[in-house]
Amino acid sequence: MTNPPPNDTSRPDPPSQSFVDIETADTTWRFDRGFLASNWQCIWGRGCQGILAEPAERLAQGCCSVGAELDGVDEAMNLAALAASIPADLWQFRTAADDGGIFRTPERTSTRVVDGACIFLNRPGFEGGAGCALHLAALACNESPIDWKPSVCWQLPIKVDWADRGDGGEIATVRRWTRDDWGDDEEGMAWWCTEAPEAYSGSQPVVVSLGEELQHIVGDAVYVEIRKRLG
């Protein structure tokens, strides 16, 4: 796929933020209307330039170059158990995992980086399929990748910011993940998909195309309501 030049006006600009609030007893959910109503889609393998210092579509690393940060001990334990079940024909770096484990440090706070990307990322040309081995294994078992992948991976590019509401409840702001959210890594990023007009090319709004992810994050009732509000 050839990306449009920077001055191409045939594609829309990334959406500006405006919010829709949905109140529950414990949480005020604040949804970024602009992003959820946009037609953003993941373009991994179809023009994604990755998150390296130079655009690198040919590597097909997407946002997996730095590995995955894990959400606590339970997620790490679940990931280790699932990894042990993935056969070598679906996981290019199965031998590397057997030899050195899947975690970057003994604290198990993130996945290892092997040959320049996450240990779970199958590279282009791998016979079992390019992409996340966890994702491929979940599909092979007729299960949802949400139940297999680290939360940061299946939620991207959705970001949830939590804040104290002041009455014992919380405010949860659901928005698009921005370049700034990568912390120190963002300084060396040449490209990021939610800022790239070419990624706003889907056939459905995000509230639909990422419906399973949103429903998992906010629950059935709140998801139904936000679908109505953005309908």
What does the pLDDT average to over 200-226? 97
pLDDT band at 14 (very low <50, low <70, confident <90, very high): low
109 falls within a domain = yes
At 28-54, the pLDDT tens digits run: 999 999 999 999 999 999 999 999 999
Q: Is the pLDDT of residue 4 over 80?
A: no
8 falls within a domain = no
Last residue of a domain, one of 83, 111, 145: 145
Does 138 share its domain with 179? no
Distances (CA, A) of 129 to 88, 119, 120, 132, 207: 11, 14, 12, 9, 28
Last residue of a domain, one of 100, 115, 145: 145
114 within 8 A of 96, measured Cβ to Cβ: yes
Q: Is the pLDDT of residue 185 over 90?
A: no
Does 78 share its domain with 140? yes
At 94-111, the pLDDT tens digits run: 999 999 999 999 999 999
pLDDT at 18: 85
pLDDT band at 27 (very low <50, low <70, confident <90, very high): very high
Question: Rounded to a whole number, what is the distance in angstroms from the first to the last CA of the chain?
Answer: 32
At 76-85, the pLDDT tens digits run: 999 999 999 9
At 96-151, the pLDDT tens digits run: 999 999 999 999 999 999 999 999 999 999 999 999 999 999 999 999 999 999 99
94 within 8 A of 86, measured Cβ to Cβ: yes
Q: Give the chain's length.
A: 231
151 falls within a domain = no
117 within 8 A of 111, measured Cβ to Cβ: no
Pairing of strands 19-23, 113-114: unpaired
Q: Is the pLDDT of residue 11 over 80?
A: no
pLDDT at 184: 74
Does 186 share its domain with 211? yes
29 falls within a domain = yes
pLDDT at 13: 61
Q: Is the pLDDT of residue 9 over 90?
A: no
Per the structure, how many domains does the chain have? 2
Note down the domain range covering 184: 22-53+156-231
Query: pTM of the prediction?
Result: 0.89
pLDDT band at 210 (very low <50, low <70, confident <90, very high): very high
pLDDT at 16: 67
Q: Is the pLDDT of residue 2 over 70?
A: no
